[in-house]
Structure 1
Amino acid sequence: MKVNNKRLLYLETIICLLISVGITYALYQNKAKRWEEQSSATFRQALELELQKRDTVMVFHKEAMGYSTLSLDDSLPKPIRIIDELGEREYIIPKEKYDHSLVKETLKRSILSILLEDYPLVPDTLNEIWDSLLITANIPVKTCIRISVTDFQERASVAHSKDIFESFSSDSLLSYYLGERCEVEVTGFVFYGWYEVVSGWGYFAICLPWIVLAFLFFFYKKIIFILERRFVKHETLTIKTMVPVIAVKAEDSHVYQLEEGVFFDTKEKVLKSASLTKKLAPQVAYLLKLFLESEGYRLSTSKIDENLWADGSGTQERIYTVIRRLRKSLDGITHLMVDYENDIYQLKSSISDEIVKNSTIPT
Structure 2
Amino acid sequence: MLSLRHYKSVNINNMRRINIILLSVTICLGGIVFFLLCRYTHESKKSDVNKKAKETFIKAFGQELKSRDLEEYFSFNYNAKTLLTADMPDSVYFEDEFGKHWYRLDTKKHYMNVTDNANVRSLHSSTFRENPIMVDSLNNIWKKCLQDYDIYVKSGLCVSVTGYDRKVKSMSTLHNSWCNISNQVFTIYVGYACEIEIVGYLNYSIWNMMYMEILIYLLLCAVSVYIIYRTSIYVVMKIKSMRQKEVVQMPVIEFVQEMTNTPIRSYIMHDDVIFYAEQKKIEKLGGTKEKLQPQSCQLLELFFRAKDNDYILTDNDIEKELWGNTGTNNRLHKSVGRLRSSIQKVEPSIDIKRNASGYQLLL
Q: TM-score, normalised by structure 1?
A: 0.54
Hey, what's the Cα distance between the residues in 1 that align with 2:255 and 2:93?
A: 115
With over 3 angstroms needed to count, the CA separation of the structure-2 counterparts of 1:110 and 1:260, relative to structure 1, is closer
Match of 2:266 in 1: 262
> Number of matched residues?
241
Query: Does 1:80 find its partner at 2:87?
Result: no
Alpha-carbon separation, structure 1, partners of 2:160 and 2:256: 101
2-structure distance, mates of 1:27, 1:242: 58
- Measured in 2, the distance between the counterparts of 1:153 and 1:102 equals 22
CA gap 1:245/1:177 in 2 versus in 1, 3 angstroms: closer
Q: Give the fraction of aligned pairs with identical amino acids, expressed as a percent.
A: 19
CA apart distance, 1:108? 3.6
Q: Which residue of 1 aligns with 2:147?
A: 135
Q: How does 1:72-221 map to 2 (within 5 A)?
A: 75-77=87-89, 79-81=91-93, 90-156=102-168, 157-162=170-175, 164-168=177-181, 172-214=184-226
Query: For 1:173, what is the secondary structure of its paired residue?
Result: strand
Q: Give, in whole Å, the separation in 1 of the partners of 2:128 and 2:67.
A: 11
Partner of residue 42, structure 1? 56
Q: Which residue of 2 is the match for residue 360 of structure 1?
A: none
C-alpha distance in 1 between matches for 2:125 and 2:253: 109
Within 5 Å, give how 1:294-333 maps onto structure 2: none
Partner of 2:337: none
Q: Any conservation in 1 of the 2:26–2:228 contact (CA below 8 Å)?
A: no
Q: What is the CA-CA distance between 1:171 and the residue it aligns to?
A: 6.0
Determine the C-alpha separation between the residues in 2 that align with 1:179 and 1:25.
38
Q: Is the 8 A contact 1:39 1:134 kept in 2?
A: yes
- Checking the alignment, whether the CA contact within 8 Å between 2:121 and 2:190 is kept in structure 1 is yes
Q: CA deviation at 1:86?
A: 9.7
The C-alpha deviation readout for 1:218-243, integer Å capped at 9, x for no partner, is: 8987x78xx99xxxxxxxxxxxx999
Are 1:257 and 1:264, in contact at CA under 8 Å, matched by a contact in 2?
Answer: no
Equivalent residue, structure 2, for 1:19: 33
Cα separation, partners in 2 of 1:199 and 1:256, compared to 1, 3 Å:
farther
Larger radius of gyration: 2
Distance in 2, Cα, partners of 1:21 & 1:85: 62
Aligned pairs for 1:324-363 (under 5 A) are: none
Gaps of at least 5 residues in structure 1 are: 59-73, 229-240, 247-253, 279-363
Which consecutive unaligned segments of at least 5 residues does structure 2 have? 1-12, 73-85, 240-251, 286-363
Offset of 1:57 from its aligned partner?
Answer: 7.8
Higher helix share: 2
RMSD: 4.3
Match of 2:282 in 1: 275
Moved over 6 A (4+): 83-87, 218-221, 241-246
1:261-314 Cα shifts (integer Å, max 9, x gaps): 42479xxxx964231479xxxxxxxxxxxxxxxxxxxxxxxxxxxxxxxxxxxx
Give the Å deviation of 1:34: 1.6
Task: Describe the shift of the 1:101–1:276 C-alpha distance in structure 2 as closer, same or farther (beyond 3 A).
Answer: closer
Return the offset for 1:54. Answer: 0.7
